[in-house]
Amino acid sequence: MTTVPALEDFCQYAQGAGFLAVDTEFVRTRTYYARLGLVQVQAAERTALIDPVVLVNEGGESAMAPLWQLFADADMTLVIHAGGEDYEILHQHMGKLPNAIFDTQIASAMLGDGDALGYAALVEQRLGVAIDKSQSRTDWMKRPLADEQLDYAAADVFYLQQLYPQLYELAGTQGKLELILQESAWQADKRAQTVPDEWQFLYFGNAWQCNAEQLSVLRELVAWRYQRARSSDLPLGFIAKDHTLLDLARQMPDSKNQLRQFKDLSPVTIKYAGDALLEVIARGRANGPLDIPLRRLTDLPNYKTMFNEIKQLAQNVANELGINVALIASRRQINDVLHWCWQIPPQAQAQLPLPDLFTSWRGAKLKQPIEQLLK
């Protein structure tokens, strides 16, 4: 679909569909922001492959507004499989999240199909259809798209529409519909959350290896990398890799000659951003030591005991809800909540998203017991 009249006609038709099966195709290999290459929608009997690359107005701006308005309709449910980055890119283009989401991967996991089944596996398991995934590595920004690519894209929503009624009915029968809807909404909300640049270092791997002065420098470096990646629309790793930032923070170079000693720091970065990088390091040193005693979680007293206690709390909730404990609290999620409670300072907590186990339906079940346990 490459014209505004065709898009408007489809959106008008889709208003009466009740729900929409939706998928997106995008490219994110050399950019910070994902490049939207295609939007697939199945509405009742019609399949639409909508081309955002071509659908622009005379001023070169996107002409996708009718679709975004359809997705934002308060009465419309979007059915998506493993939304993840789909939610992120929809939020980026719509400026908001869809009103209601049913994620079929979440549903299938909570209904006992197995954890995190891929779309092809779920379609084969529930519909007995084998999907050709040979086009999964397509460059969705390249035009024209081949018939094989378009067929592949259409299949991603054609069978999704057939899965939804099955899963919806089963969710109702098992009493899990509200839980699935809450989890789907929360997963989307999470993709729309942001962490202020000044606090990104708190989630930086191996930050615990820095002393107080080095940690102050690392805070500035991590914030600078995010700012430069966004302004240049480049992946974080193109600016500087994680281990390079950590080395810069620990060694604190003060000249371009010293910067050149870091073998994984791009010569392009040194040439065009070397002065700014040195200023960032100098600012971190000038700010003085950072009194946030980050340590490796596994080295903290009572870590293993508290981890196992929280895991048991999650198991109790899993037994109550009749779902796998892995859907309640993963190892990472337990570590995140311990990190939050033990190492995130109050002034940062006031500006940061809560850890997973303290939000949505998980928080309603686990937040108070975990806080009491850790006290």
Per residue in 263-273, pLDDT tens?
899 888 899 99
Q: What is the pLDDT of residues 46-58, one digit of tens each?
A: 999 999 999 988 7
Any idea where the domains of the chain sit in the sequence? 4-192, 197-287, 297-374
Contact 278, 255 (CB under 8 A): yes
Residue 155's pLDDT is: 96
Q: Specify the CATH architecture of the domain 4-192.
A: 2-Layer Sandwich (3.30)
Rounded CA separation 337/357 (Å):
7
Rounded CA separation 269/49 (Å):
39
pLDDT at 60 over 80: no
pLDDT at 59 over 80: no
Asked about 58 being catalytic, the answer comes back as no
Burial 219-246 (b: 16+ CB within 10 A, else e): bbbbbbbbebbeeeeeebebbbeeebbb
Q: Enter the tokens of residue 104.
A: 């079929």
| Three-state DSSP state, 268 | helix
- Strands lying side by side in the sheet with 35-43: 46-50, 35-43, 19-27, 77-80, 100-103
Rounded CA separation 319/3 (Å):
52
Catalytic residue among 51, 88, 103, 152: 152
Q: What is the DSSP string of 22-61?
A: EEEEEE-SS-SS-EEEEEEEEETTEEEEE-TTT-B-TTS-
Binned at pLDDT 50, 70 and 90, residue 215 comes out as very high
Asked about 25 being catalytic, the answer comes back as yes
| 100-103 vs 46-50, strand pairing mode | unpaired
Asked about 119 being catalytic, the answer comes back as no
Residue 369's pLDDT is: 98
Rounded CA separation 139/163 (Å):
27
Give CA separation, 161 vs 92, 157, 216, 275, in Å: 25, 6, 51, 54
**Strands (E) located in the chain:** 19-27, 35-43, 46-50, 77-80, 100-103
Asked about 151 being catalytic, the answer comes back as no
Give CA separation, 315 vs 119, 308, 309, 322, 357, in Å: 27, 10, 10, 10, 13
Average pLDDT over residues 275-282: 97
Asked about 87 being catalytic, the answer comes back as no
Rounded CA separation 48/43 (Å):
8
Binned at pLDDT 50, 70 and 90, residue 61 comes out as confident
Q: Enter the tokens of residue 66.
A: 């009718």
Residue 132's pLDDT is: 86
Q: What is the pLDDT of residues 76-113, one digit of tens each?
A: 999 999 999 999 999 999 999 998 999 999 999 999 98
Q: Enter the tokens of residue 16.
A: 């009466």
Kindly report the average pLDDT of the chain as a whole number. 95
Whether 197-287 and 4-192 are alike in CATH topology: the answer is no
Residue 116's pLDDT is: 86
The CATH H-level (homologous superfamily) assignment of domain 297-374 is HRDC domain (1.10.150.80)
Catalytic residue among 23, 183, 336, 356: 23
Residue 293's pLDDT is: 83
Task: Give the CATH class of 197-287.
Answer: mainly alpha
Catalytic residue among 51, 88, 156, 336: 156
Binned at pLDDT 50, 70 and 90, residue 375 comes out as confident
Residue 133's pLDDT is: 81
Catalytic residue among 86, 88, 113, 220: 86
